[in-house]
Structure 1
Amino acid sequence: MSRLNRSRSFLWLAGTVGVTLLGSLIPLTTNNRFYYYDDTQAGAFGIWFEIGTKLSAGEWPLFSDTAWGAGNYAAEGQWGIWNPLVLLIGWLASTSPNIVVFSTVLKITCLCVLAAGTFLLAGSYKARPEWAAIAGVAVTLTGFTVYIDAASWVTGLMVFSLLPLAWFGLRRMAFAGGNPILALVAAYVLITIGYVHGTLMLAVLFLGLFAEAWLTARSRNVMFRLLLAGMVCGFIALAVYLPGVLTAPVTARTGGIANSGFLTPDLTGLATVWVPGSLPQITGWWGGFAPVPLLYVAWFLPVLAIVDYGRMWAGGKELAAIGVFGLLSLGLTLAPSDLGPLRFPIRLMPYVSLALLLGAAVLLSRYRVAVLSRGRLAVTAAIVISGLYLAWSQYPSIRMAAAFGLLSVAGIGGLYFLLFSPRAAPRLKSPAATAAGVILVSLVVAAGQHAAFKASPLPDYRMPDTPQAYSRQLPGAEGGTFVVGDPTKLGSQIWNETLASNAWYLNSAQVQNLYSPIMFAKYAEDLCITSHGWTCSSAGRKLFETDPATGKVLADLLSLDTVQILRDPAATSDDIFRDGPPAGWHESSRSADAVVWMRDRPLLNTGQVVWASDGTRLSLVSENSQEVVLRVDGLDGGSGKAVLSRLAWPGYSAQGASLAAPLRGYLVELDIPANSVGKSITLRFEPPAWPAVVGSIIIAIVVSLGWSLGELVLLRRRRPDKAWADRAMAEPVKAVSPQ
């Protein structure tokens, strides 16, 4: 490729990223906290902060006994413990002075990566640069990506932003003999983020690429390279998800196939994906209809009516991967609401959007008709009228339908004028003018959407903006701490007294109520604790009930030294919030919304022995999150039992004793054999199949490095078509055939 063409390609890419940056700022003009909603507040930032804190202390975040139901980081998956990018994000988060700014910058960066990857991918399929740029910008403005993933579900955004880059690298690696390093690094980072839907769609992508290879290359070398890359990705996925799969029997994320209709789109809604103001019938936390345009993809999709599909079928075999990826994405998006541990099929809507926009960019570049016939104009009109009607019928607002409908129709009319009218000035038919016109309308549409729909439909808990504001809650709390109640029912002023979910990682208190998408089922059921960490009000009385098997109060078995009880606005007269503390505890503070009880003599024994059978005397030798060493000082009954304040996760092993059935279904219990006096007992936790997990990561990294370095060494001996990717972007279709 000439230097001039290379410079032009870079300018198109830079322009795509620059416009995406501009578009990502639009939500902030109406809502400066737009990128800090729901799970970003309750889950992600706390994880990043804890990762950074542990790394700064020289620890690797693998397991925490003090985090209880949220402490099995390997099984959780989304902690990204194998991901260098997540570890870097964690370190940066732990030093950030403003949480909202940090989250905003990170998410906008992801959107820019998404745009760049989509531009490169479209170019690799020989899309013209203007349409590759249009697709790159448009994919970052789609409804679900903007209002759900970017606003809240940041791990979903991260994996989605990496998939086009992985796709581009895999095509370059397989079909042009390019070095696999780009594809393997992108796939590694994507998989080790731990968001299973991204890994699932990477597997779907491989199916599409195999189909593309079968229909076009029919080369053993191409198939081998794809198989080898797939094997590497398989080993990475095994390391990330195997601990979770083997831990699943004790978690709340098991189940069969069912359909509650929750977060499941239908074909009527999908028929309006080009209508910017469409509010489809999607049942969610918000009710029966989406309050924002969740299924919106792009206003210009009706212009696909001007594609010559006969020519496409005759000469578009290399587009097989786009078709397979799009159809399977659509099928999964329309799947039942529950497929085992997979929930909320609408999560896959971004991938449908990617397939539509990528397909549009390639088809309009390569197979657009030269003359706009009346028939194609009629088809466009039919798509527009039916889409507007279906959007209006789901949300019958004349103002909404008129405003966005007229804007979209004007944009489509203007685009047809540029593409087909002989009266259009030649300078208006240039690639830059086409891209500028389409992208300008897209940005105006986005501005209109954010003027009408200023926030994500997911909750904003209004948590503080700065890390320092998370340090004043529960002052003086000692030992294990439990929060009873739901703070989100009490208004944002409650954050002066308590926190929620993973925000507790920013506080010094050792709180059990952390965020966990998997949860330890028996523990969660016993204390009616949700995945976000808040509980029903009855958990307060449960904590001070006596366990029949041990005769100990449950708070003792959980090593609790501090309990905060929040006011329940719907409470009856029988409310523990109004009670005084039990014997051995005192009330350390009380306000209109919260009361704090603390032990008179703190136990400070989280993770240690909290009960032993009569005559069994044990002393602590050493203890950390993953290991406890005990010495048996006495066994008057011949043999003995002991309970530790640890959740009985799969992966615990005992030497010098045996694991018994967990107390209450969730606390570690040991059977101590006779003749153990004077001997040691070691209880150790290691994620299930840990040697296989570590081995899988090592194999994946070694094969990736060996393959990539080997390609570099052999490059001079067998030079592939090294300019393939650049030519694909720089050599657009010279002309379009007549209809």
Structure 2
Amino acid sequence: MKEERRVPSLGASVAEERGRRQEPTFLWPLLTAVATIVAALIPLLFNRRFYFFDDTQAGAYGIWVEIGEKLRAGDWPLFSIEGWAAGNYAAEGQWGIWNPMIMAIGLGASTGMSAVLFSSIVKIVFLVILALGVFNVCRTYRATPEWSAVAGVATTLTGFTTYMDGPSWVTGLMVFALLPWCWWGLKRLADGGNPLSALIPAYLLITIGYVHGTIMLVILFIALLAEALLLRTGKGALRLIVAGALCGAFALTVYFPGVATAPVTARGTVIGNSGFLGIDITGLASSPIPSSLPQITGWWGAFAPVPVLYIAWFLPLLLLTRPTVAQLRPAAALLVFGAASLLLTLAPSDLGPLRFPVRLMPYFAMSVLIVFAVLMSTVLVSRLTRLRVGAVILALGFSAYLAWSQNPDFVRLHVLFTGLAGLAILLVLLALFVDRPVLRRHGLRIAALIAVVFCLATAVAQKKYFPAAPLPDFQLPAEPGAYDDVLPDSKGSIFVVGEPAQLGEQVWDETLVSNSWYLADKPVHNLYSPIMYTAYSEDLCMTSHGWTCAGAIFKLLSVDEATGKTVAELLDVDTIQILREPQDSDGAILRSRVAPAGWTEVERTENSATWVRDDVEGAVGEPVATSAGTEVEVISNGEEKVSFEVTRTGADGGSVVLSRLDWPGYSVSNGSIGDSTRGYLLTVDVGPESEGQVVTVSFEPPAWNVLVPLMWVAICASVLWGVLGGLLARVLAGRRRSASRREPAAERESR
């Protein structure tokens, strides 16, 4: 066996370590990036659309294109009346309206590149950002470059990141990729580094608008504060508090409009546990096995069809470390953050507006892998005993047993992946502990390379047997130009009745789904909105994806008692497309749908019928109904403001209904906000004195006049702190160099 290898302690300086090592500092970060790119390309060998599933297809990509188109037109994407329930971007949050990175992605998406190719590039870039961020966090806690590289690559290959965030939930991937950079920057800040190294990634993470990432950033602040207090570094704790206050200002601007708008949306407010996308300890304990299909109830049933809880095959090697409390104290934030991540991952399925605790699995996995790198670098045992070997074998075998017990139908697959993990662990042990000259000099490097190679080999085998995400692939076209010819005879605002995703990919030349409508550049009600507008959605039985029940057609054509107008008129719907119901296999129900008076059928296929209003009047956002005796004339109409003149009103005044959702944030001059028509349409009350006056209705997100200045003050304060902090650091460094040069001269004079 080998003599004890010298490794840096948790308190050792990086300079001391560099003094012991003579290799380029960029070598292992470069290896991390290259290996991550290779790993990210592996799924494409088996599924070219791997990074274009579910919410990326139906949600994010359409948003990116719309953002890019608006920016090219000189507009800032804040609010859209034609987007209806999906048009309140500030309340939605996840449009990233304050985020320059999202704006750049939007400009890129709107160039016309293949949607599949562009989405894949974006996600691979963020996987590389994630891997390098983890590498830097590991190095901050004195892990060696070799084990830091292993942790960085492995984090991008964990099950939830690979099969959920990567293919579908791209905003989750983005915030996860940025969080280790926040960690690295905040740790540097606590040690006296430039604040911008923490505040820039924190700003980018928060302004993406994905609340799970912001919550984990708050937990990270708490963990680092605890670490600073344990290490008794008061100045470091104060710096973290100031940075936290600035980040709080960023978060308040991003999230307050959504909170203030919550009373009219479908955001949850209760704590409960339906078991949906919840996990248990058994699933976590099988996380070293790449084929483990844990018991997680989801859209797929009771058991996950892919290894969503997989972390890394090499975790049993943790039993070769011997940490003490004193050694772990400088890395307290790792333990606090990891423990909090675990608790949240095991939380109930519904925590108010937060759903699906399994979404936080990547953060727990990252914590485990960083701890692995740190412990393997600092407290690896110097001698391999039979007891240690037995413990590693037992841990791997127990995890394999749990994987088999959860899904015994895949016994051969479990044997294959367990055998692959066992072989890799054996080779790592040989590299670390066999007493040979070449291994004494290069054993650590060889062990790390073995680990990275087997991570990639495992990824190949995983993607061969599990080639796709367990989420829908709507098979939407890859080329943006394919969306241009949908509903060529439509006019004005469109409403689609039915569930297009249920009819298969053959309907995409007739209709679209959710945010893919942005690519067709047609105003449509049926966009994707995770918050929804409750009363509107319930009235039209519309889901968050914009799908409706078949009965929505009858609701559209029904007459509203209060106004005497049809619901379609109140919503300014000029085109209705009715889709065949999935159970209507012979199309009989669809054939029975006949255009009523005032509408003309312009297209009919075996899957859809399209009607257009004979007289298209006005535009979305304008007045659509008035009370008896009241008449108005539109002067101007825009996204956030509409003006009209009251040409006639009754003795007691009147009311004007506009084809706008009654979002919190509207104000009126020469009138007042009245009770919503049908519980969701903006209604303005005008008095008898309003005749001849111009009424202006304006929208601004709640508290926007306070939040926007707050955001700019926080941004300017961050930049000022960073610039002044950098200048001060240079001045102090110069003084220290001058003092060090004066000391030898003083010593010579004394002699």
Q: TM-score range by the shorter chain?
A: over 0.9
Q: 2:85 aligns with which of 69, 80, 87?
A: 69
* Counterpart amino acid of residue 36 in structure 1: F
Q: 1:182 aligns with which of 197, 204, 216?
A: 197
Q: Is structure 2 residue 378 aligned with structure 1 residue 378? A: no
Q: Deviations over 1:372-413 (max 9, x none)?
A: 222222222221121111100101022111111111111112
Preserved contact between residue 662 and residue 676 of structure 2 (Cα < 8 Å): yes
User: Which residue number in structure 2 is paired with residue 206 of structure 1?
Assistant: 221
Residue 671 of structure 1: how far off its partner (Å): 1.1
Inter-partner Cα distance in structure 2 for 1:489 and 1:130: 49
Inter-partner Cα distance in structure 2 for 1:456 and 1:721: 57
Q: Which moves more between the two structures, 402-411 or 295-304? A: 402-411
| 1:519 match: secondary structure | coil
User: Which residue number in structure 1 is paired with residue 468 of structure 2?
Assistant: 455
User: Which residue number in structure 2 is paired with residue 234 of structure 1?
Assistant: 248
| 1:716 match: secondary structure | helix
Q: Is structure 2 residue 361 aligned with structure 1 residue 361? A: no
Inter-partner Cα distance in structure 1 for 2:390 and 2:620: 72
Q: 1:284 aligns with which of 287, 295, 298?
A: 298
Q: Deviations over 1:565-586 (max 9, x none)?
A: 0000224999465221110001
Q: Is structure 2 residue 559 aligned with structure 1 residue 543? A: no
Preserved contact between residue 251 and residue 519 of structure 1 (Cα < 8 Å): yes
Preserved contact between residue 431 and residue 439 of structure 2 (Cα < 8 Å): no
* Counterpart amino acid of residue 262 in structure 2: A
Preserved contact between residue 540 and residue 576 of structure 1 (Cα < 8 Å): no
Inter-partner Cα distance in structure 2 for 1:466 and 1:70: 24
Q: Residue 328 and residue 495 in structure 1: after superposition, are their counterparts in 2 closer, same or farther (change >3 A)?
A: same
User: Which residue number in structure 1 is paired with residue 123 of structure 2?
Assistant: 107
User: Which residue number in structure 1 is paired with residue 110 of structure 2?
Assistant: 94
* Counterpart amino acid of residue 189 in structure 2: M
* Counterpart amino acid of residue 282 in structure 1: I
1:394-413 matches, within 5 Å, as 394-396=406-408, 397-413=410-426
Preserved contact between residue 256 and residue 339 of structure 1 (Cα < 8 Å): yes
User: Which residue number in structure 1 is paired with residue 686 of structure 2?
Assistant: 672
Inter-partner Cα distance in structure 1 for 2:234 and 2:417: 50
Q: 2:484 aligns with which of 466, 471, 476?
A: 471
1:19-418 matches, within 5 Å, as 19-175=35-191, 177-216=192-231, 218-309=232-323, 312-396=324-408, 397-418=410-431
Q: Is structure 2 residue 697 aligned with structure 1 residue 683? A: yes
Preserved contact between residue 341 and residue 364 of structure 2 (Cα < 8 Å): yes
User: Which residue number in structure 1 is paired with residue 528 of structure 2?
Assistant: 515
User: Which residue number in structure 1 is paired with residue 539 of structure 2?
Assistant: 526
Inter-partner Cα distance in structure 1 for 2:729 and 2:468: 51
Inter-partner Cα distance in structure 2 for 1:470 and 1:424: 64
Preserved contact between residue 480 and residue 604 of structure 1 (Cα < 8 Å): no
User: Which residue number in structure 1 is paired with residue 506 of structure 2?
Assistant: 493
Inter-partner Cα distance in structure 2 for 1:182 and 1:414: 39
Residue 696 of structure 1: how far off its partner (Å): 2.2
Q: Residue 722 and residue 674 in structure 1: after superposition, are their counterparts in 2 closer, same or farther (change >3 A)?
A: farther
Gaps of 5+ in 2: 1-14, 738-751
Q: Deviations over 1:261-283 (max 9, x none)?
A: 00011010000111100000000
Q: Residue 340 and residue 722 in structure 1: after superposition, are their counterparts in 2 closer, same or farther (change >3 A)?
A: farther
1:576-591 matches, within 5 Å, as 578-591=592-605
Preserved contact between residue 640 and residue 672 of structure 1 (Cα < 8 Å): yes
Q: TM-score when scaled to structure 2?
A: 0.94
Preserved contact between residue 432 and residue 439 of structure 2 (Cα < 8 Å): no
Inter-partner Cα distance in structure 2 for 1:316 and 1:390: 30
Residue 455 of structure 1: how far off its partner (Å): 0.2
| 1:549 match: secondary structure | coil
Equivalenced residues, count: 719
Residue 670 of structure 1: how far off its partner (Å): 1.2
Preserved contact between residue 191 and residue 237 of structure 1 (Cα < 8 Å): yes
* Counterpart amino acid of residue 668 in structure 1: L
Q: TM-score when scaled to structure 1?
A: 0.95
Q: Deviations over 1:238-290 (max 9, x none)?
A: 01000000000000013210100000110100001111000000000011100
| 1:653 match: secondary structure | strand
Inter-partner Cα distance in structure 2 for 1:569 and 1:276: 37
| 2:156 match: secondary structure | coil
Q: CA RMSD in A?
A: 1.8
Inter-partner Cα distance in structure 2 for 1:122 and 1:6: 20
Residue 607 of structure 1: how far off its partner (Å): 0.6
Inter-partner Cα distance in structure 2 for 1:247 and 1:6: 58
Gaps of 5+ in 1: 724-739
Preserved contact between residue 611 and residue 644 of structure 1 (Cα < 8 Å): yes
Preserved contact between residue 584 and residue 600 of structure 1 (Cα < 8 Å): yes
| 1:630 match: secondary structure | strand
Q: Residue 721 and residue 620 in structure 1: after superposition, are their counterparts in 2 closer, same or farther (change >3 A)?
A: farther
Q: Deviations over 1:651-709 (max 9, x none)?
A: 01111111111111100011111111111111110000102210221121011011001
| 1:682 match: secondary structure | strand
Preserved contact between residue 98 and residue 466 of structure 1 (Cα < 8 Å): yes
| 1:718 match: secondary structure | helix
Q: Residue 721 and residue 507 in structure 1: after superposition, are their counterparts in 2 closer, same or farther (change >3 A)?
A: farther
Residue 429 of structure 1: how far off its partner (Å): 4.1
Inter-partner Cα distance in structure 2 for 1:85 and 1:288: 38
User: Which residue number in structure 2 is paired with residue 734 of structure 1?
Assistant: none
Inter-partner Cα distance in structure 2 for 1:199 and 1:449: 31
Inter-partner Cα distance in structure 1 for 2:102 and 2:602: 39
| 1:275 match: secondary structure | coil
Inter-partner Cα distance in structure 1 for 2:320 and 2:384: 7
* Counterpart amino acid of residue 349 in structure 2: S
Inter-partner Cα distance in structure 2 for 1:593 and 1:720: 75
Preserved contact between residue 478 and residue 604 of structure 1 (Cα < 8 Å): no
Inter-partner Cα distance in structure 2 for 1:189 and 1:41: 23
User: Which residue number in structure 2 is paired with residue 729 of structure 1?
Assistant: none
| 2:206 match: secondary structure | helix
* Counterpart amino acid of residue 259 in structure 1: N
Preserved contact between residue 479 and residue 604 of structure 1 (Cα < 8 Å): no
Inter-partner Cα distance in structure 2 for 1:720 and 1:657: 65
Preserved contact between residue 86 and residue 529 of structure 2 (Cα < 8 Å): yes
Preserved contact between residue 484 and residue 535 of structure 1 (Cα < 8 Å): yes
| 1:359 match: secondary structure | helix
* Counterpart amino acid of residue 444 in structure 2: P
Inter-partner Cα distance in structure 2 for 1:657 and 1:464: 48
Preserved contact between residue 62 and residue 74 of structure 1 (Cα < 8 Å): yes
Preserved contact between residue 432 and residue 443 of structure 2 (Cα < 8 Å): no
Inter-partner Cα distance in structure 2 for 1:7 and 1:116: 19
